[in-house]
Structure formats: structure tokens, C-alpha cells
Structure 1
Amino acid sequence: MGVWYAFEGEECVQEVPRTGRRKFACVTGSWSLLGTWLVRVLLDNGYNVRFTIRTTVDEAAALMALPGAKQRLDLAQADIMDYGSLMEVFTGCDGVFHTSSPSDLVSTYPPEMVDFEVRGTLNIVEACANSSVKRLVLTSSLSAMVWDQQRHPEKVIDEKCWSNVDFCRSMKLWGPLAKTMSEKAAWSLARDRGLDMVVINPAIVLGLKMFGTTQCIFTYLKGVKELPQSGLFAYVHVEDVAKAHVSALEATDASGRYICFEDVVSEEKLVDLIRKLYPGSSIPSRFSKNGIAHVISNEKLKSLGVAFPAQQKIH
């Protein structure tokens, strides 16, 4: 890890809050789409930032070109399976963001990665608990909440909901299984260690990646043949997810889990999109029926000052 100068440069000195030293945050994990947006939002908010997500030379150059990056951004290296390297990069940090890769509805998630994600998340929690970190903001997923065959369709999906791990295994939903198991394990260890942890559970994350790749809703329609009963096409823009994470770090009364979504796409609209984008393909049987209404709430997130519609239905 390179040498870190917290207050190097005239620009940096001028931005130091009058009430004390500048806050120091570390962004780790493997999700560069959210990770890079977090760097941008944190720099805009005056933070010193340490970024440990692996990048190419061009990606690193793009990050260092951000306003304030030369003075306040440190590109470091860490392995989430190496506890020692995590302790090193967390030294001096007030907050940590762990942005593990997302698990959406159609991604192929290798089953052997479930255990890896659980163990890596536990390493993050343990290292935070034994360092200067005051709060860990963990990125989980809406998929850790919605997959439950026994849930009544009219029941509101909120922060009290958990996906059923047996159902996930039976349907081979390895991504949602990994998110559910890793988040539950993180909560158990964080409580045992007395670590202040807040979890953001975003829906499908869309938006322009800093390095030129666009992630859009159309990507998720390719190859979708069948969705289990609890499928939800809720989505949110990556910039709003990043801002929600920073709010979760800064709000003194933030606690527990926060569903993060902007809007939902009805099954009727999905059918129209599939017909428009892939006119030669047949409509998946899941979308050919009248969908059962599900209600999802992000009322809790609004308490952090993040403005989204309170409730949306998906059919």
C-alpha cells in the first residue's frame, strides 16, 4: 500500500471542515460499478478515500482524473480473503464500504462462490471490528429479501423480510443464496463484535460505468426464460445507490437494513420490451400470465434523506 498524505495540497487544506479533520473512508469489494461511483460521491463530499477494488491502468487513470483525486484518493491493494491486508488498508479509516458483486435475476452465479462470498464478508466484518473503523456499510441485495415461495403476494416486502435459503437452493438461485447467507453471517458476527454496521439492499442497479460501459434494464431481459414466484424487476440508478451508501455512513441514527430502489417494471411492460427488443423470440411463460401483485417499500430509506417513491407495485 502506498504512502497516504491526508492533507496534501492547497485544495485539500481549504476543504478541511472547521469542526475537525477530514473523514477517511475505504471502499473495498469487487463491484467496480458501485465502487467507482462511491469514490466520486465521497470525493465530492470532501472525504479522503482509499480504494481497493482491482482496476486496469486506464481505469486507475480515470479515477485519478476525478476532482480532488490527486490530493485525496489512494489506490491500494487488498484481498478480502487475507485478513492482514484488510487490517492494513482499514488503518485510520472512519468508515468502510464493502461492495460485493451483485446478484441479479439472470446472472450466472457459480455455486462454488457462495462459500467464498460468505467467508470474505466475515473477514471484512472481523477486520473492521478490530480496527479504527466506526461504521461498516455493507452492500447486500434486494435478492436477500424477496425469494420466498411461502410469502403471501399481498404482504409488503420491507427490511424485515429474508429470502428462504432452502427455496434458493431448490431453485439453484446461487446469487440470492450467497447474498442471504453472507448478510446473515455478517449481522451475527457484527453483533457479537459490537461493530456498528448498516446494510444497503439495492434492487437491480443501472447506470453508466465511469469507464464507459452502460448497464441497462434491457440486459436483464436477454435469456430470461422463467422466473420463480417471487421475482421483482425493481431497479435503481447507481449514483443514487452510492448516495444512499454515503447517507448510511453519515447519519448518526442509521441502523439495520435499507431497501434501495427507484421504480419497478410491470410484467406487462416487460412483455412489451421483450417483443420490441427480441421480436423473433417467444414470450416466457412466466410473463404470459397475469402476474400477482407484490408490494415493496423503501419508506425506511427516506428517513436518511434519500428520495424515492414510497411504494410501487409490480404485476
Structure 2
Amino acid sequence: MVLVTGGTGLVGSHLLLQLAKAGHQVRALYRTKEKIALVEKIFGYYETNAKPLLDRIEWLKSDILDIPNLTVAFTGIDTVYHCAAYISFDPKDRKKLLKTNIEGTANVVNQCIDSKIKKLCYVSSIAAIGGTPDDSYVTESTEWNNTAGYGYALSKHGAELEVWRASQEGVPSVIVNPGVILGPGFWTSGSGLFFKAAFKEPKYALPSGTGFVTVRDVVNAMVLLMEQRIENQRFILVSVNRTYLDVMAAMAKAMHKKPPKKVLSQLALQVGWRLDWLKGTILGKRRKLSKATAALFSTQEYYDSSKILSVLKDFTFEDIDAEIKRTAVIFLAEQRS
């Protein structure tokens, strides 16, 4: 049986769909029943009759920080996809980020070792890979650095170290490092926030850019890596390197909205994170832009995905613009409903 942590997230829900379609018996962890309904909605995007596939999933209420429940979750499991993670760019959440992503992954790794799991796949992020001082491409061997000091990157890097520990203690492991993941259904987090922003016809977009990939590409790569004799390696999953302006414009056009024409200046970002700090400090509002995240928008990183293409001969990346159009159709339909 296959175990999926974080089964109610963007990657996890799409992974469950692919595993169920392939005939696997799957156990998925969840924290609230409301999230299961969201997975059912995701299945409905792709299948007219999703019930037989949903019936292949055994849901178990658990948390990766709850060791007793996690021990139960591993009963009868032979392979593990670890997708669960806490995502926040609010400096106030730094301790929670480190605890959930590092300690939680350590708990998963310990269970994998104790249960003699055949293989582990961990969903990390390009945030856990070092950057470059110039326009050269980031690869899997780029040296780690976190000069911006933001907690999410540090937590994912720390989680990767736990996965490498698993590989040292007899659990074959692979890590995927996706860029910004594009896909439907999750409009209040990740790339869903970009669609919400583009829908409002902003005049400005964020400066610089990063790597982008579709959720189906991430899931497909994960499954292929687990099925083949590939272990103890990491893989960047980036289809294209694009500016935020370019991507936001494509989203706006797909929704028949006016695209942004300009990017925010660095001065605006510097003023912005300070105002955001004041709102968070004085009014207690949740931070949206910290000093560390503002620094990320000063330069564009370019990511090299040639390794995954050379290892998986039958794997190709989907067209990003086609995915933006597909996701935009779903977004607009749900805005009208």
C-alpha cells in the first residue's frame, strides 16, 4: 500500500488521482474533513465519474507531528510520498515552519526507517536550492545559501537533510524541487493567489521572476521516479523560467482581463515591506511581504531541469500557457458559481 502525506494539498490531491487511476491502493492523511471534499472537487475536474477512484483511497486523520497516529498510518505501507508541508512567508510563523517541515519530516523519516519502507519521495521546493550571483542557471548541485534568511527556504532545506538521513539509513529516497506549481482548485495559496490577483486587473506585477511548472508534471515525475531504479538523488522540476509580469499577463488574458503593464520598483518593494511590518506590528494583521521575501524579487533566478529530462527518457514538460488557460477556465467557472 502507498502512503501519501499532505494528500489534501495541490500536489497531494493530483497525486492521489494519478495513483488511483493506476490501480494503487492508497492511504492518505488528512487533518479536517472539509479538505477531503476539496480533493473530491479536484477529481471532478478530470473525471466525470470519480467515485470508483475515490473509493481506492483510505483516509486517515493524522498529523506528521503526531507520532502515535503516524505510527498507525505506516501499518502495511511499503512506499511513501511525503507531500505535507506548512507554507508561510510571515516571519511570525518561522518557528511553526521549522517545527512542521523539519521535525514533521524527521518523524516521517523515522517511521520509514522503522517500517523498512521500500522507497520515499519528498516534495521539496526550488527555495531549498542555492541561488547564483549572476544569470547562470541553478542546478541540483548549486551550493545551498539562504542569504535572504527567510524561514520557508530554511525549513525545506532542513527537511531535505532529514530525507538524506533516510537514504543513509537504508531507505531509498528521491527529492523533487518544483518551481511555482500551476494548477486548479487552490485559490487562496500558491499560484492560486496569482490567478486571484490577475483577475482584479492590477496595473503592476512583481519584479523579476522564477521557475514555473504544472502540477501534473510534478506528479508525473514523482511517480516515474518512484517506479524506476533511481534513488538518493534530487531533481529540479521547472518547465520554464518566466517573469512574474509575463505570467500575470498570460493569466489576465486567459480570463479576459486587462494585463499588468509595469513591474513594481525596488523602492516600492522596500516601502511595501516596511508598511506591511507596521500593519503586522500595530494592527496584528498577517504579514504578506517581509524584508526577506522582498529581497527575493530583486533578481530573477534561472533553473535548469535537464537532469530530470536526461534520467526520465519518456518525460516531457507540459506547455505552461496551455495550463494557465485550463486553470483560468476553472477559476472563472468557480467565480460565477
Question: TM over 0.5, yes or no?
Answer: yes
Flag the 1:44–1:70 CA change in 2: closer, same or farther, 3 A: closer
**Contact in 2 for aligned 1:90/1:133 (Cα 8 Å):** no
What SS does the corresponding residue of 2:183 show, helix, strand or coil? Answer: strand
Checking the alignment, whether the CA contact within 8 Å between 2:2 and 2:78 is kept in structure 1 is yes
- 260, 266, 269: which is aligned to 1:285? 266
Tell me if structure 2 keeps the 8 A contact 1:140–1:202: yes
Q: State the Cα distance separating 1:299 from its structure 2 match.
A: 1.3
1:299 lines up with 2:302 in the alignment: no
Amino acid in structure 1 at the alignment position of 2:242: V
For the Cα contact (< 8 Å) 1:204–1:235, is it kept in 2? yes
Structure 1 residues 118 and 31: alpha-carbon distance in aligned structure 2, compared to 1, 3 A threshold: farther
The counterpart of 1:190, out of the listed 150, 159, 166, is: 166
- Counterparts of 1:54-73 in structure 2, within 5 Å, are 54=31, 55-56=33-34, 58-59=37-38, 62=41, 66=50, 68-69=52-53, 71-73=55-57
Runs of at least 5 residues in structure 2 that lack an aligned partner in the other structure:
270-297, 319-337
Instruction: State the distance in 2 between where 1:202 and 1:255 align.
Output: 17
2:108 matched to 1:129?
A: no
CA spacing shift, 1:70–1:261, aligned 2, 3 Å: closer
- Compared CA separation, residues 201 and 28, structure 1 to 2 (3 A): same
Deviation per CA, 1:58-101: give whole Å up to 9, x if none.
Answer: 33655696253354211112221122222221222221111133
Cα-to-partner distance string for 1:220-248 (whole Å, 9 max, x where unaligned): 88899977xxx642111112111111112
Comparing 264-273 and 202-211, the one that deviates more: 264-273
Measured after TM superposition, the shift of residue 211 of structure 1 is 9.9
Q: Distance in 1 between matches of 2:197 and 2:188?
A: 19
Does residue 201 of structure 1 match 2:177?
yes
Q: Please provide the CA RMSD for this pair.
A: 3.8
Pairing 1:112–2:95 present: yes
TM-score of the aligned structures, taking structure 1 as reference length: 0.72
**C-alpha separation in 2, matches of 1:267 and 1:33:** 21
Counterpart Cα distance in 2 of 1:296 and 1:60: 30
- For residues 85-142 of structure 1, give each alpha carbon's deviation from its aligned partner in whole angstroms, at most 9, with x where no partner exists: 22221222221111133758xx446212232121001000110111142111001001
Inter-partner Cα distance in structure 2 for 1:191 and 1:25 = 18
Q: Are the aligned partners of 2:3 and 2:81 in contact in 1 as well (CA < 8 Å)?
A: yes
Cα offsets for 1:156-188 (capped at 9, x unmatched): 3111124414x132xxx221121112212331x
Give the Cα–Cα distance (whole angstroms) in 2 for the partners of residues 271 and 59 of structure 1: 25
Calculate percent identity across the aligned residue pairs. Answer: 22
The question of 1:160 aligning with 2:145 is answered no
Distance in 2 of aligned mates of 1:145 and 1:245: 18
Q: 8 Å contact 2:177–2:234 — kept in the other structure?
A: yes
Do 1:226 and 1:286's aligned partners in 2 also have CA atoms closer than 8 Å? no
Question: How does 1:45-56 map onto structure 2 within 5 Å?
Answer: 45-54=22-31, 55-56=33-34
Partners in 2 of 1:269 and 1:130 — Cα distance?
A: 47
**Ranges in structure 1 where 5+ consecutive residues have no aligned partner:** 1-23, 310-315
CA distance in structure 2 between the partners assigned to 1:233 and 1:282 by the alignment: 14
Between 1:31-40 and 1:208-217, the stretch displaced more is 208-217
Secondary structure, counterpart of 2:94 in structure 1: coil
1:90 corresponds to: 74
Contact 1:207/1:216 (8 A) holds in 2? no
Given that 2:203 and 2:259 are in contact with CA atoms closer than 8 Å, whether structure 1 keeps it comes out as no
Report the equivalent of 2:222: 245
For residues 28-83 of structure 1, what are the alpha-carbon distances to aligned partners after superposition, in whole Å with 9 as ceiling and x for unaligned?
03761111101100011111111113341633655696253354211112221122
Distance (whole Å) between structure 1 residues aligned to residue 187 and residue 51 of structure 2: 16
2-side partners of 1:276 and 1:83: how far apart?
A: 49
Partner residue in 2 for 1:26:
3
Partner of 2:16: 39
Q: What amino acid maps onto 2:125 in structure 1? A: S
Q: Distance in 2 between matches of 1:74 and 1:204?
A: 29
2:139–2:236 Cα contact (<8 Å) kept: yes
Aligned residues: 270
Q: CA contact under 8 A between 2:106 and 2:162: conserved in structure 1?
A: yes
CA, structure 1 residues 265+210, in 2 after alignment: closer, same or farther (shift >3 Å)?
Answer: closer
Between 153-162 and 176-185, report the one with greater CA deviation: 153-162
TM-score (norm 2): 0.67
Matched residue, 1:17? none
* 8 Å Cα contact 2:204-2:260 kept in structure 1: no
| Cα pair distance change 1:74/1:196, threshold 3 Å | same
